[in-house]
Amino acid sequence: MNEFGRLEAAQRYTVPGLERGLRILTAFTRREPVLSAPELARRLSIPRSTVFRLLSTLEQLGLVERDESGRDYRLGTGALRLGFECLASKELTELGRPILERLRDITGCSCNLVVRDGRSVVYVARAVVQTPYANTVHLGTRLPAHATLFGRVLLRDLSFEKLQQLYPEEQLQAATPKTPATVAQLYRLIQTDRAHDYVFDQGYFEPNISTLAVPVFGQAGKVVAALGITVSGNNHTPENINELARSACEAADDLSSLLDHVAASRH
């Protein structure tokens, strides 16, 4: 088959609606994270009515969302999750592993890198100190996002409306007495968390296990992962917690900078 024949065959199997939708998603960049529907129509040479229908579909799928004005659009958490599922299996883990190992050596504690997949958090990289808890989670372990400190960090970019869509039920399933009972309680906790560089709690998901979690940021300041330290026992002084937090925040900053550098080099 000659080149013209191959091109004709490829066009025969192209889905125009899908192709246009993907072109819309790729129009959002690090330098231009927010775009209007008319601007997208102009840039992509797609009729405005078609762009509005495509944006409505992408919004329902969580791939785009309205900005604060309610008129313009930006990539939604669904699109970020699609992109970082691949990143979690490659760049995020490759970049994060030596940082986790260094953090483990500094703190003497097991360290984890976690991403969100829908209503679950997923462990994608670990640097462990051998303790009984170290054997209860492994790469690929899934835990409920609403019931973990990692989940609270990873849900922080969601508006109350988006959080309600993710958790439409009236009562959230409890893992411990500390699990928020409703979406409203969960949202209030997340808003409190946002005022601090890290979150820490004792026995939040499992008795006798303390967790300290900090956000890792990607493009446009979006949270793409949570980096955390797991400590056995509940006897921790404020000085000890502050020292762990300082080391964890430095590690998260290092990883965020690396991710930002990789993203910038692609543009």
Instruction: Write the pLDDT tens digit of every residue in 131-159.
Output: 665 556 788 888 999 999 999 999 999 99
Task: Give the CA angle between residues 142, 208, 133 to the nearest 5°.
Answer: 50
The strand ranges marked E within 84-146 are 110-117, 120-127, 142-144
The average pLDDT across 109-134 equals 85
**Sign (positive or negative) of CA dihedral 238, 243, 249, 255:** negative
- Residues 150-179, mean pLDDT to the nearest whole number: 93
Query: What pLDDT is recorded for position 218?
Result: 85
- Which among 58, 49, 69, 61 is positioned nearest to 27, based on CA atoms? 58
The pLDDT of residue 14 is above 90: no
pLDDT of residue 3: 46
- Is the per-residue pLDDT at 39 higher than 80? yes
The chain-wide mean pLDDT, for the chain, equals 84
pLDDT value, residue 81? 61
* Residue 56 confidence (pLDDT): 93
- pLDDT at position 41 over 70: yes
Domains belonging to the chain, first-starting first, are 3-75 (1.10.10.10), 84-265 (3.30.450.40)
Which residue do the tokens 């997923």 mark?
122
In this model, does residue 76 exceed pLDDT 90? no
Query: How would residue 55 be classed by pLDDT, with cut points 50, 70 and 90?
Result: very high
Pair of tokens at residue 31: 């330098």
Q: Return d(Cα 259, Cα 216) in angstroms, integer.
A: 9
Highest mean pLDDT among 7-21, 90-104, 239-253: 239-253
- Across residues 217-244, what is the average pLDDT? 85
pLDDT category, 202, cuts 50, 70, 90?
A: confident
- For residues 50 and 140, the model is more confident at 50
Q: Write down the pTM of the prediction.
A: 0.65
- pLDDT tens profile 22-34: 999 989 886 788 9
Host H or E run for residue 105: helix 91-107
The residue ranking higher by pLDDT, 235 or 25, is 25
Banded pLDDT at 63 (limits 50, 70, 90): confident
Residue 131: predicted pLDDT: 65
Q: Looking at the predicted structure, is the pLDDT value of residue 233 above 80? A: no
Name which residue leads in pLDDT, 63 or 131. Answer: 63
* CB distance 64 to 31 below 8 Å: no
Model confidence band, residue 185 (pLDDT cutoffs 50, 70, 90) = very high
Reading the block at residue 124, the tokens are 């994608």
